[in-house]
Amino acid sequence: MPVLALDTSSSVAVAVLGDDGTVLAARSDDQPRHHAELLAPMVEAALAEAGVDRAALTAVVVGTGPAPFTGLRVGLVTARTLGLALGIPVHGVPSLDAVAATASRTLPAGADVLVATDARRREVYWALYRVHGPGDVQVVVAPEVASPADVAADPRTGGALVVGRGAALYPALAADGALDLDVDPAELARLALARAAAGQVLDTEPLYLRRPDAVPSAGGKRVLG
């Protein structure tokens, strides 16, 4: 029952998982603003390495952000297209959840994790989680967008371990250090399968959190930022 997982909220990342959750193949590339060119070849390469035919896939899992409009849309459209073509379910999971799940594998139960990623415009996307076990996290504060200073000053974030690319860009977020983690699509898949088995509906609506970096020109055309 192989599963394909992909995320384009930051880097372009793809993984193919086997029946027991084992990663059969994985690819990632952090070239900025090249998501559309990178994703399809990476999916094909990962499937080939895993020895999995598209027709054998049982589900597609995709990160739903939050992230800027253009890059995130590439992953969502690709996942939905594959699901429709193959007649298999497409599960959406917030990308920050996967980063928190990765961090949870080295933390004790009860620890708080603050995930922060780059939102451009000198802001970060962030969310707060509590660890219940390896790969098991609870959302304490749902994803928001804010300045690093506002996140650091928020009383809810006190004492949390800061992880994610936002922490590397804005050191003031984590005066005591941070972990520079990115989205692991394998964690997305594990979260999706566990939540689906528990009866949760995992829609693929994107988390943009603000208007896209796209503005109409005087001639009526759209320019994507």
pLDDT in tens, 55-112: 999 999 999 999 999 899 999 999 999 999 999 999 999 999 999 999 999 999 999 9
Question: Mean pLDDT over residues 186-195, rounded?
Answer: 97
Q: Which helix (H) or strand (E) covers residue 16, if one does?
A: strand 12-17
Q: Are 155 and 143 in contact (CB under 8 A)?
A: no
- Give the pLDDT confidence score for residue 33 in this predicted structure: 75
Query: What's the pLDDT tens digit per position in 16-43?
Result: 999 888 999 999 998 877 899 999 999 9
Which residues are within 8 A (CB) of 57 and not within 5 positions of it... i.e. 6 or more apart? Answer: 2, 3, 4, 82, 86, 88
**pLDDT mean across residues, the chain:** 92
Domain architecture of the chain: domains with CATH: 3-94+183-224 (3.30.420.40), 96-179 (3.30.420.40)
- Give the pLDDT confidence score for residue 211 in this predicted structure: 59
Bridge partners, 92 (sequence order): 62
CA distance linking residue 12 with residue 32, whole number of Å: 9
Dihedral of the CA atoms 119, 9, 212, 113 (nearest 10)?
-40
Reference 46, options 36, 57, 35; nearest CA is 57
Distance of CA 79 to the CA centre of its chain: 13
Query: pLDDT at residue 224 above 60?
Result: no
- Give the pLDDT confidence score for residue 53 in this predicted structure: 97
Query: What's the pLDDT tens digit per position in 37-68?
Result: 999 999 999 999 999 999 999 999 999 999 99
Question: Mean pLDDT over residues 194-220, rounded?
Answer: 77
**CA 156 vs CA 14, 58, 66: distances in Å:** 33, 39, 20
What are the structure tokens assigned to 147, written together? 């300045």
- Give the pLDDT confidence score for residue 58 in this predicted structure: 97
Reference 188, options 93, 60, 96; nearest CA is 93
Q: Residue 46: what are its φ and ψ, rounded to 5°? A: -65, -40
- Give the pLDDT confidence score for residue 212 in this predicted structure: 53
What are the structure tokens assigned to 46, written together? 């990962």
What are the structure tokens assigned to 1, written together? 């029952």
189 torsion bin: left (phi>0), alpha (psi -120 to 50), beta (else): alpha
